[in-house]
Amino acid sequence: MAYTITEECIACGACEPECPEEAISEGDPVYIIDASKCNDCGSCAAVCPVDCCVPAE
């Protein structure tokens, strides 16, 4: 199961450099996670200041 970024994202960019798979990129208006690259490690969630990186449903 991949992670996803919710609409609560403040586009701070903290998550992008933490992703070992380079699955996170800047979107408009929030960052996005490429589910096909995400390995479900949770590194993004660990650094997100607003807890918007969550497991996809």
CATH number, position 3 = 3.30.70.20
- What is the pTM (predicted TM-score) of this model? 0.93
Query: What does the pLDDT read at residue 33?
Result: 98
Residue 47: give the domain boundaries: 1-57
Query: What does the pLDDT read at residue 40?
Result: 97
- Contacts by residues 29-38 (CB-CB < 8 Å, ≥ 24 positions apart): 30/5, 30/6, 31/5, 32/5, 33/2, 33/3, 33/4, 33/5, 35/2, 35/4, 36/2, 38/2, 38/3
Query: What does the pLDDT read at residue 57?
Result: 86
For residues 29 and 39, give the distance between their C-alpha atoms in angstroms, rounded to a whole number.
Answer: 24
Residues of the chain with confidence (pLDDT) below 70: none
3: three-class secondary structure by DSSP: strand
Query: What does the pLDDT read at residue 1?
Result: 86
Helices (H), 1-57: 43-47
